[in-house]
């Protein structure tokens, strides 16, 4: 009954447009999330649940969506279909909330695939260039191609376990002889959504063509759907697919190194940030044999990367709004033209390379320790991986902030109060959550 009433309430809210209904839905979902964490008896018999993993993912979703609304203030001033944009944000927030709070496999799959609809609408409706149509097709084809094996795997799992609840995944039973194929079918959709190397080509095109708010949502939350699904399903296959797990770690390490080299030859800073997301999420894929250390470090990395990468995409949008270009050949010397904004470029670039003071450091150090406990021979690859992460982050900062500025750009205004507020709200959790890493493991 609770499920039906909440779905009807959400659809009723979606029938309205405007900021009032957006904030009202935001407040209702936020309160419900807190109640679900601290009063689990209230939701017994429904398909809603909340543990530490889903609770942090839901809060990250709410945080990023609110910052998306702030960063799209230009649509309100120019009246660029702002009501439809608010409706798309409401639908995205509602679907992502249902995805992370689902407690059974079938409803998780429905909302997992349904979250593609609003991001596709955002890319095609508010994108920059005509290539946004091709980017939307890439996004749909890659994800739909991988979703059918997941649906077949969910049906087989439900038949084998006698139900679709996540709580049944922890039960032990006799695995079939073809468990490796079953494992691959189960995680392939999550690998595409993550995205892992080899199935990542949709992400740079989607990022480059998406508006600032679309890039913030893609980097901040939608990429975490793949990691969230992997962390849910890996408990089911724990210890039963050792060969496939080692193969997965090897492919993600090598793929992350390849992507790091690809980052160094980018001239579009938005494409560089998108490829760096592929590299970092490839590292998050390697949480070893599901140890507590690797599991919690993967959660830290998801939260930290969602905030840091979203902030970098917002910074790239700030420059694009002023200069009309994303080329690093044109947008040079910003330290001289936008000195206050250069401080935030520096803070987010060192966060992207997992330097101290930010939460990225804890997540990546924990993942490195987890991978080394899995295989000590991967130390050389991990050293190169960390070094290349620093290389492309410094390359991004030095190419945009230093050098002689392009004479065709006569003057660029420095940041506005709204932009500094958005950047501060991105960095505030990154800085203070590093003091609460013990809390995030419970």
Residue 32's pLDDT band, with cuts at 50, 70 and 90, is low
What is the average per-residue pLDDT within 47-62? 80
Give the model's pLDDT for residue 404. Answer: 82
Residue 17 pLDDT > 50, yes or no?
no
Contact 270, 215 (CB under 8 A): yes
- For the stretch 130-163, pLDDT in tens is 888 889 888 888 888 889 899 999 998 888 888 8
Higher pLDDT, 6 or 156: 156
* 396: its two tokens: 């991004």
For residue 67 the two structure tokens come to: 């910052």
- The string of pLDDT tens digits covering residues 75-129 is 776 677 888 888 888 889 889 988 998 888 888 999 999 998 999 999 998 887 7
Answer for the pair 56, 79: CB distance below 8 angstroms, yes or no: no
Q: In the structure, what pLDDT confidence band is assigned to residue 3 with cuts at 50, 70 and 90?
A: very low
DSSP state, residue 221: I
Question: Cα separation of 215 and 313, whole Å?
Answer: 6
Instruction: Give dist(CA 86, CA 71) in Å, integer.
Output: 12
Phi and psi of 210, rounded to 5°? -75, 155
Residue 165 β-bridge partners:
104
Contact 67, 420 (CB under 8 A): no
- DSSP label at residue 169: G
Which has more pLDDT, 267 or 249?
267
Say what percent of the chain tops pLDDT 70. Answer: 82
- Alpha-helical (H) ranges within 172-222 are 179-193, 202-209, 212-217
- 200-233 pLDDT, tens digit per residue, is 889 999 998 899 999 999 998 988 898 899 888 8
Does residue 71 register a pLDDT over 80? yes
- pLDDT range class, residue 266, cuts 50, 70, 90: very high
b/e per residue 323-345 (b: at least 16 CB within 10 A): bebbebeebbbbbebbeebbebb
pLDDT (tens digit per residue) in 349-393: 999 998 888 999 998 988 888 888 877 888 888 899 999 999 999
The number of helix segments (H) and strand segments (E) in the chain equals 21, 0
Looking at residue 49, what is its pLDDT? Answer: 67
CB atoms closer than 10 angstroms to residue 381: 16
Beta-bridge partners for 327: 268
Q: How far is CA 243 from CA 164, 238, 247, 289, 406, in A?
A: 26, 12, 6, 11, 53
List Cα–Cα distances, 413 to 79, 319, 323, 339, in angstroms: 23, 10, 10, 10
At 396-442, the pLDDT tens digits run 999 999 988 777 776 677 788 999 999 999 999 998 888 877 655 54
What was the pLDDT predicted at 432?
Answer: 87
Least confident of 49-63, 98-112, 174-188: 174-188
- 3-class secondary-structure state, position 201: coil
The burial class, CB within 10 Å (0-12 / 13-18 / 19+), for 320 is: middle
> Is the confidence at residue 342, as pLDDT, over 60?
yes
- Asked if the model's pLDDT at residue 39 lies above 60, the reply is no
- Whether residue 63 is predicted with pLDDT greater than 50 in this model: the reply is yes
Name the CA dihedral angle for 170, 176, 180, 183, rounded to a multiple of 10 degrees: -40
């Amino acid at each position: 009954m609770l499920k039906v009433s909440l779905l009807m309430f959400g659809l009723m809210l979606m029938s309205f447009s405007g900021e009032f209904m957006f904030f009202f839905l935001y407040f209702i979902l936020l309160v419900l999330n807190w109640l679900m964490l601290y009063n689990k008896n209230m939701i017994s018999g429904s398909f809603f649940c909340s543990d530490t993993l889903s609770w942090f993912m839901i809060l990250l979703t709410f945080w990023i969506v609110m910052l998306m609304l702030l960063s799209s203030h230009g649509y309100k001033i120019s009246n660029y279909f702002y009501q439809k944009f608010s409706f798309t944000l409401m639908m995205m927030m509602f679907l992502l909330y249902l995805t992370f709070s689902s407690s059974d496999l079938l409803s998780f799959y429905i909302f997992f695939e349904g979250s593609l609809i609003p991001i596709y609408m955002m890319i095609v409706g508010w994108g920059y260039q005509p290539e946004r149509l091709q980017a939307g097709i890439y996004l749909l084809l890659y994800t739909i191609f991988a979703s059918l094996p997941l649906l077949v795997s969910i049906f087989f799992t439900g038949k084998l376990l006698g139900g679709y609840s996540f709580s049944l995944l922890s039960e032990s039973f006799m695995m079939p002889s073809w468990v490796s194929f079953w494992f691959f079918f189960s995680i392939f959709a999550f690998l595409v959504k993550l995205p892992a190397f080899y199935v990542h080509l949709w992400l740079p095109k989607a990022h480059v063509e998406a508006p600032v708010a679309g890039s913030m949502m893609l980097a901040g939350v939608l990429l975490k759907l793949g990691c969230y699904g992997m962390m849910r399903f890996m408990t089911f296959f724990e210890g039963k697919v050792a060969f496939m797990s080692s193969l997965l770690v090897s492919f993600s390490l090598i793929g992350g190194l390849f992507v790091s080299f690809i980052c160094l030859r980018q001239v579009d800073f938005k494409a560089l940030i998108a490829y760096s997301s592929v590299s970092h999420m490839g590292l998050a894929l390697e949480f070893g044999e599901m140890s507590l250390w690797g599991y919690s470090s993967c959660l830290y990395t998801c939260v930290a990367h969602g905030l840091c990468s979203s902030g970098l995409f917002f910074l790239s949008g700030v420059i694009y709004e002023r200069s009309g270009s994303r080329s690093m050949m044109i947008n040079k010397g910003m330290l001289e033209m936008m000195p206050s904004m250069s401080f935030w470029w520096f803070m987010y670039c060192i966060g992207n390379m997992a330097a101290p003071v930010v939460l990225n450091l804890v997540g990546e150090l924990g993942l490195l320790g987890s991978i080394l406990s899995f295989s000590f021979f991967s130390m050389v690859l991990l050293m190169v991986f960390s070094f290349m992460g620093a290389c492309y982050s410094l390359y991004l900062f030095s190419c945009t902030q230093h050098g002689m500025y392009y004479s065709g750009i006569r003057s660029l205004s420095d940041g506005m109060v709204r932009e500094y507020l958005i950047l501060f709200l991105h960095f505030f959790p990154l800085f203070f959550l590093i003091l609460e890493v013990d809390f995030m493991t419970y």
